[in-house]
Amino acid sequence: MSIERPASPRAAATIDRTRASIARVYDCALGGKDNFEVDREVVEKLKTVAPEIEQFTVDHRQFLIRVTRFIAGQTGIRQFLDLGSGLPTAENTHQAAQRIAPDARVVYVDNDPSVVAHGRALLEENELTRFSPADLTQPEEVLADPIVRELIDFSQPLALLQLGTLHHYVGERSPADIMQTYVDALPSGSYVALSHFYDPQDENSELARRMEEIFVHSPLGSGVFRTRDEILGMLPGLELVEPGFSLLVDWWPDGPRMQDLLPAQKCLAGAVGRKP
């Protein structure tokens, strides 16, 4: 028996083909086809300072998959709140989680108009997965959203994924405050995964700042590279899972490293933490 999904007036947003979209730029860098010329221009500009930008984006996706498999396979958690789902790719959160735990429930949150239609179509036949067009930078809105509450039980531990999102946030409220609100709402035993553009404050800082310059002054208009302390400030009171804060490629890789890291790969970092 199918479950009726609640409708949302927020889903009727219009796609603006003259402005770059975070989701479409990532789709382009991942080799997807759901993007426009303005999005491809951002990727081409990034290639002038970081020719390996596609790998930069792939690392984000692979980190998401490894984190999801870890949580689904080893923690007993069966509910995931994925903030900033992006466009469909070869392996999405619900696919990675449900391959290990078929009863895993997943709610995606993304208000990018380019994502909404794709998200609803992708999940049409998956009754353990929902899509909410709420604004992930407004945690109070997300936490109270009926679509989120339909599938996520906040009295039980859950996994909150904030991957590749807050470096694109532009607003007065600090990313640390946004994350504090989310963490405060989670029950004990929950996990939080965060990935972010990273300024390593070493010989690769110059590259980080050059990429930031491209992001901020492109049609996308955002892309801040933050330091270790700034990123860790977004994981308040959490016990970090080994190896703690690390480059994304160093967080439990799938096998031994056979090649040297590309410079841009040293400008992506994150962590997974458990709420005591």
| Better-predicted residue by pLDDT, 185 or 14 | 185
Average pLDDT value for residue range 251-265: 92
Enter the pTM of the model: 0.87
Mean pLDDT confidence for 133-150: 96
Q: What is the pLDDT of residue 122?
A: 63
At 138 the pLDDT is 97
Sign, Cα dihedral of 180, 181, 184, 190: negative
- What CA–CA distances, in Å, run from 14 to 101, 116, 222, 224, 271? 36, 10, 21, 26, 35
pLDDT in tens, 200-211: 999 999 999 998
Residue 172 burial by Cβ neighbours in a 10 Å radius (0-12, 13-18, 19+): exposed
Angle between helices 53-74 and 37-49 in degrees, nearest 10:
100
Calpha distance 77→70 (Å, rounded): 10
Region class of 26: left (phi > 0), else alpha (psi between -120 and 50), else beta:
alpha
Distance CA 247, CA 226 (A): 13
15 phi, psi to nearest 5 deg: -80, 125
Q: Select the more confidently predicted residue: 37 or 75.
A: 75
The Cα 9–Cα 110 span in angstroms is: 14
* Integer CA distances (angstroms), 262 to 52, 54, 174, in order: 7, 11, 31
Q: Alpha-carbon distance 156 to 190, whole Å?
A: 8
Cα distance between residue 46 and residue 212, in whole Å:
9
pLDDT at 13: 52
The whole-angstrom separation of Cα 179 and Cα 235 is 7
The torsion angle over the Cα atoms of residues 29, 32, 35 and 40, rounded to 10 degrees, is 30
- Residue 199, pLDDT score: 98
